[in-house]
Amino acid sequence: MDEQQKDMMQELEGSDRKLRQYWKLPVLTVSLILSCFHLYVAGFGLPGIGSKTFLILHVMLGLILVFLIFPIKKGLQQTRIPWYDLLLSVCSLVIGTYIIQRQDASSIMSGQPTDMDLFVGLSFIVLVLEATRRVVGKPLVIIALIFIAYFFLGEWMPGQFHHTRGDFERFVYEITYRNNGIFGTPVYASAQFVFIFILFGAILESTGAGKMFIDLALRLFGRYKGGPAKASVVSSGMMGSISGSSTANAVTTGTFTIPLMKKVGFKPHVAGGVEVAASSSGQFLPPIMGAAAFIMVEFTGVAIIKLSKAP
């Protein structure tokens, strides 16, 4: 993958921070800790730590990386990490450590968190929302805020939407300290399955496997009628087998296939649509699959084979 592709992938996935020299050191350090931690858990299980601690560490290290890598505003070119993002990273570390230490406290186990527990829990929720905004964008944050508002405004809602659970203390406790909030099924699937597969996929892409798939698809189908579109589907499918990110898939293969499709007569929106559809479906190809596949397995309890066959 050349530098132009890397820059395009970085832009589409939300990061515009290109760090220089020693500013890369904290990012590299946290990335290595996170990767080695998951590799250790994948190989040896969870000796000495509970599953809840594993999830907290997963989210905590992820938050630290987000604030080190993603700028506060998309498109903001930065070559260093500003002080406020360093502060947010430290806050993520402190809050995560606090939650680990307090997860088995009597006040938490009995559902009666202290004022400090509530303050830390609320801060943790804010950090997660801000990290989500930086990585995914505002739409997902808006959806989360709508459901948060529903929690507090449910007593004024009509019919089946009515409920009387809108208590601030219960909200922070359920979201932060229970297994049906932030540390629910999606995070469990991410920590237990998604991250390790994404890590292996990143290693394969870095070793040049992605370029090999693109070259192979173009060589097989590039000379036929509609060949670039066929090559787009095949290369995206093969790329999907080593990448859990549909965005990375589209950028890697689309850099070559979209211009070729336009050159042979495809309209721009058709060329883009073919590539996006192929790349989005490619993340369901084994052995390395996107987060959506694992989350659906956790939620539904249906085997991945059956989910992959579903129309």
List the structure tokens of 233: 């589907």
**Alpha-carbon distance 210 to 255, whole Å?**
12
d(Cα 254, Cα 279) in Å, to the nearest integer? 9
| pTM listed for this prediction | 0.73
d(CA 81, CA 26): 10
pLDDT of residue 61: 94
| Direct distance between the N- and C-terminal alpha carbons of the chain, in angstroms, rounded to an integer | 33
Domain boundaries, the chain: 3-183, 192-309
C-alpha to C-alpha distance for 185 and 122, rounded to whole angstroms:
20
Q: Tens place of pLDDT for every residue, the chain, 311 residues?
A: 445 544 544 444 456 678 887 888 889 999 999 999 988 888 887 766 778 889 999 999 999 999 999 998 877 777 888 999 999 999 999 999 999 999 888 888 888 889 999 999 999 999 999 999 998 889 999 999 999 998 888 888 888 888 877 788 889 998 999 888 899 888 888 888 778 777 776 776 677 666 776 777 767 776 677 777 787 788 777 777 777 677 767 766 777 777 778 777 788 888 888 888 888 777 777 766 676 777 777 777 787 777 767 65
With the C-alpha atoms ordered 74, 80, 85, 91, is the resulting torsion angle positive or negative? positive
What percentage of the chain's residues is helix, strand, coil (to nearest 5)? Answer: 75, 0, 25
226-to-221, 252, 260, 261 alpha-carbon distances in Å? 8, 20, 10, 8
